Amino acid sequence: MRKKWAMANWKMNMTPTEARAYMTKMVPRLKSKDTEVVFFVPSIDIEAVVSETSGSNILVGAENFYYEDKGAYTGEISIDMIKDAGCKYVLIGHSERRNIFNENDDLIHKKLLKAIEKDIGIVLCVGESLSQRENGDTFTFIESQLKSAFDNIDKNQLKNIIIAYEPIWAIGTGKTATDDQAEEVCAYIRSIIKKLYDNDAADNMNILYGGSVNANNAKNLFDMPNIDGGLVGGASLKEEFENIVKRD
């Protein structure tokens, strides 16, 4: 049985003071028996969020890192740094990193290899643009993103990897993919994992949906057979996130 996940992606929001205040209020409200909760936060907020979540089941992740261990990379942070600060997860391949910061498939692959080597949890994002969807290129594009990311990665290196399907046209737009659209692509992603590895790898892979998830649509999305939870941007900055975690 795969778990359900409710993951927050704060993006470039929340000062450390705001982060602390939000977590003080929310941590007691985010207890859930059957949903794992992870907060991806800006690196400057990691310390505050790790300290506010200590003693809870909530885990903290970094939104970004560089794939080298150390050295002359002004402005970057390494996996050793974020692990030392208490992070259990990293986000790789988010469309905002790909599109605004020009992260290409090669860089994403290098980050994936480093995160596997460092034994940290990984959420790998894939997803098509609106024009790719309209041109009928969704499946071929997502297959190419997955093939490039998983190049030379063995089945026994998959255990820390979660995939997030995030159609770019649904991110921050308020335009959520329908349950069926999200399910269709998540099922397709699972079929690609089966093709690249085997049945067992496909069955065990956690696959999330992200893109305008909110308190109203989370339950139906998370209940789809191939969707194991969500990566939540805007709604994770609000009290509404409690309803996404609990879905009652």
List residues near ligand PGA by CB under 6 A: 9, 166, 171-172, 210-213, 231-235
Residue, CB closest to ligand PGA: 233
Classify residue 84 as exposed, middle or buried by CB count within 10 Å of its CB (0-12, 13-18, 19+). Answer: exposed
Contacts 24+ apart (CB under 8 A), 18-21: 19/45, 19/48, 19/49, 19/52, 20/48, 20/49, 20/52
**Token digits for 223?**
């209940």
| Distance (Å, whole) CA 55 – CA 91 | 23
Active site residue 117: no
- Catalytic residue of the set 52, 94, 109, 128: 94
- Catalytic residue of the set 63, 103, 166, 183: 166
247 touches 219 (CB < 8 A): yes
Active site residue 103: no
| Residue 135 φ/ψ, nearest 5 degrees | -85, 0
Classify residue 135 as exposed, middle or buried by CB count within 10 Å of its CB (0-12, 13-18, 19+). Answer: exposed
* Choice between 14 and 202, CB closer to ligand PGA: 14
| Matching residue, tokens 């992740």 | 61
* Choice between 189 and 202, CB closer to ligand PGA: 189
Distance of closest approach, residue 222 Cβ to ligand PGA, in angstroms: 14
End-to-end, the C-alpha distance of the chain in Å comes to: 21
* Choice between 46 and 218, CB closer to ligand PGA: 218
**Token digits for 213?**
């998830």
**Token digits for 164?**
């997030």
* Choice between 1 and 12, CB closer to ligand PGA: 12
| Distance (Å, whole) CA 180 – CA 187 | 10
Annotated catalytic sites, by residue?
A: 94, 166
